[in-house]
Amino acid sequence: MKTPKATSTGAGQLVGYARTSTTDQKAGLEAQLRDLTGAGCAKVFREELSSVAAKRPELERALDYVREGDTLIVTKLDRLARSVADLVEITARLRAKSVALRILAMNLDTGTPTGKLMLNLLGSIAEFERELMLERQREGIAKAKAEGKYKGRAPTARRKAAEVIRLKAEGKTGDAIAEELGIGRASVFRILRSA
């Protein structure tokens, strides 16, 4: 027996967004595409890049594409947003366009009053958890400093020195390297000078 496809809460189109962190995660992307198609998505935007990438062009295209009455569908929340602030920004953009958001794994649909409430509660809980985690982290750092054990973390750019040198050898500009690796332009040139 065939299950009927879900329909959007408005009269609009169902639009999917799928993302995996790397091109190595083909199975994960295929599973998302299968689930989005199964949910009735007429159009699916997809990309293979880390959520920490400065720009997610396909997500931007999806957010520009959706219209009033449409529903943007993702399989999981972490495929869409990288933080609570990011989620708040995305949902505000969708709300401004009168577009609902559906998260399949959570059975959450902001096209319904309950879905809106749940998303707000989840966002608030996540923000509260983050504040608690930051508070514990600050306390731990203060204790470690007091005991003379705190060294701090290694600078991010320095850990990417080998990649910077490799990309420069491939002929990329300093600006292109900085954008690709998500580090500052000054850090790129500092690494290249010291190499």
What confidence tens digit (pLDDT) does each residue in 72-100 have? 999 998 888 877 778 888 988 999 999 99
pLDDT tens-place string over residues 120-166: 887 777 778 778 888 988 898 888 888 888 777 666 777 888 888 99
Burial of 74 from C-beta contacts in 10 A (0-12 / 13-18 / 19+): buried
The verdict on pTM exceeding 0.85 is no
Catalytic entry in 21, 50, 124, 194? 21
- To the query of whether residue 51 is one of the catalytic residues in this protein, the response is no
Asked if pLDDT for residue 57 goes beyond 70, the answer is yes
Q: What is the mean pLDDT of the chain?
A: 84
pLDDT, tens only, 59-79: 999 999 999 999 999 999 888
- CATH architecture group of domain 14-123: 3-Layer(aba) Sandwich (3.40)
d(C-alpha 56, C-alpha 34), whole Å: 21
Q: Domain residues of the chain, as ranges?
A: 14-123, 156-194
Across the strands, what pairs with 71?
14, 100
